[in-house]
Amino acid sequence: MSTSLERGIRTWVAQIDAPIASFFTSCVHCGICADACLFFTETGDPKYTPIHKLEPMRRVWQQEYTFWGRLAKRLGFSKPVTEDELKEWEPLVYDSCTLCGRCSMVCPVGNDITYMIRKMREGMVAAGYAPEGLKAATSRSIRIGSPMGVRLPALQAQIKAAEAETGLTVPLDQEGADYLMLLSSAEIMQFSEIISAVTRIFDEAKVSWTLASKAFEATNSGMQIGSSDLAAQLVQRIVDAAEALKVKYVISPECGHAYTALRWEGPNLVGRAYPFKVIHILELLDELRAEGRLKTDGFEDQRVTFHDPCQIVRRGGIVEPPRNLLNMVAKDFVEMEEHGIMNWCCGGGGGVSANERADPIRRKAFDRKKHQLEGMGVAKLVTACSNCRNMLEEGLEDNHLDEDIEVVGLAEMLAEHLAVSNRADTGESTSTAKE
């Protein structure tokens, strides 16, 4: 069955729930959400007003779920949603929304606009209106196992490199380990230092962990494109692997949307609660810190700041852990003026980075981050999401700031300062030391 307008509308009818109805009912057209959206603030174009991006779904709600709307529809007075409109709205919903959730924080009547956009995308993709780049990424995720087309051999190569670098074993498919560590494609392909970083940290903290050859990829393009059906397939792979390896925890890596997909949407996508817990790498590291199992040596001597990945901080609720961890290794850690739950998006979340068509507006939207960094005098911009990291690096380069500011992953920075104990003295390690 192919995608169609009719299928899209039916999807919206199925997706609209009590909160959505309440949100549409409450909207007073005040336009405050526009100020929370970097695509509006950086372009000044009113069409980027978050609530406006939902207009087709609003009409479906009105026509299908309200008394007057149904009456008007029956009498033939209502304006049905058309293909042309979906075509017009597709870039608004996919190119100029990163699901960052800032609008949901400022709406005075309390509308969770991000929650609405997420459902809006369900109908859009079912109607066949999704960007090519995101479609291709989703296709690769389903067919190959990774949006970037990363296959197991590539991971194995990185494992090998990490083992060589650290002199430690990187456990793979180790049944009965406590933690199953996931990675994102970007980490495997671009920021593979993370593998050695966590290997060293977990070894030092005596964390029993493993990677899984059947489920190393944490990202979820299905959720980004807005298809719960495909998102569920991707989550199911992780659930299956975690159950096969009988782990107690699955670690969501430094990737924003992976955390949302796995931690919050996952059980609802696969239709049952997990037999394991999902924990974010920052949460785990912060726990280790609190328990005294994570110790560091020395400090960064340069001024650093933290870019809050939206899905981890604002929409994930992990606000304090990255700060606690940063303070372990940075003496001159400064916050951006708007930080934590009100920090601005890098511009590439929610599938925007996978969508080449969105490149110009995404790069324009980066001006927001540039303004935030202006005058802070930071040498390092720390973050905890490989997608953010990519976007930040690219954005800084575009603005010729890449010489001044270095983008660093938090776990990596911690690993650099990891205090190494004398293994020979303790003589035991949960992480298998290489013979």
Partner 1 sequence: MTETEFLNWVRGPGMQIALAVFIVGMVYRVLENYLIGRKQSLAEPRGSEWTHGVGTMWRRSFTRAKLTTRGYVTLVAGYIFHIAFLVTLFFLAQHVEMFRSLLGFGWPALPPLLITITAVLGIAALLALLAHRLTDPVKRMLSDYQDYLTWFLTFFPLITGFLLINRVGIPYKTLLATHILSFELLLIAIPFTKLSHIITTFISRWYNGAIAGVKGVQS
Partner 2 sequence: MKDTRTVGEILSSQGISRRGFLKFCAATASMMAMPPSMVPAVAQALSNARRPSVIWLSFQECTGCTESLTRSHSPTLEGLLFDSISLDYHHTLQVAAGSAAEEAREHAMQENDGSYLVVVDGSIPLGNPGYSTIAGISNVDMLKETAAGAAAIVAVGTCAAFGGIPHANPNPTGAVAVSDIIKDKPIINVSGCPPIPIVITGVLAHYLTFGKVPELDDLGRPTAFFGQTIHDRCYRRPFYDKGLFAETFDDEGAQQGWCLYKLGCKGPVTYNACAVSKWNSGTSFPIQSGHGCFGCSEPDFWDSGGFYRPLSATTADVGTLAGVAALAGAAAGAAIGRMNRSHRARAQARHEKLTIDDIEES
The stretches of 27-81 forming alpha helices (DSSP H) are: 32-36, 38-41, 55-65, 67-75
Residue 238 is encoded by which pair of tokens? 């992780």
Residue 300 is encoded by which pair of tokens? 């960064």
Nearer CB in complex with partner 2: 125/385: 125
In angstroms, the CA 103 to CA 119 distance is 16
Q: Are 380 and 416 in contact (CB under 8 A)?
A: no
* Identity of residue 271: G
Site for partner 1 in 103-132 (CB under 8 A): 104-112, 115
Q: Is 127 exposed, middle or buried (0-12, 13-18, 19+ CB in 10 A)?
A: buried
* Three-state secondary-structure class, residue 249: strand
Site string for partner 2, 316-345 (x = CB under 8 A): ------------------------------
The secondary structure of residue 409, as a DSSP letter, is: E
In angstroms, the CA 21 to CA 29 distance is 15
Residue 166 is encoded by which pair of tokens? 């650290």
Q: Are 424 and 206 in contact (CB under 8 A)?
A: no
Q: Which residue has the tokens 């489920």?
A: 215
- Can residue 80 be called a binding residue for partner 1 (CB under 8 A)? no
In angstroms, the CA 379 to CA 377 distance is 7
Site for partner 2 in 107-126 (CB under 8 A): 125-126
- Can residue 34 be called a binding residue for partner 1 (CB under 8 A)? yes
Among 91, 123, 309, 316, binds partner 1 (CB under 8 A): 316
Site string for partner 1, 370-409 (x = CB under 8 A): ----------------------------------------
264 binds, among partner 1, partner 2, none (CB under 5 to 8 A by kind): partner 1
Site for partner 2 in 224-283 (CB under 8 A): 225, 227, 229-230
Among 7, 10, 41, 367, binds partner 1 (CB under 8 A): 41
Nearer CB in complex with partner 2: 272/277: 272
Residues near partner 2 (CB under 8 A) are 1-3, 7, 10-11, 13-14, 16-17, 21, 64-65, 67, 125-126, 128-130, 135, 138-139, 142-143, 225, 227, 229-230
Residues near partner 1 (CB under 8 A) are 16-19, 21-23, 25-32, 34-36, 40-41, 44, 46-47, 49, 51-52, 65-68, 102, 104-112, 115, 263-268, 271-274, 277-278, 314-317, 319, 337-338, 341-342
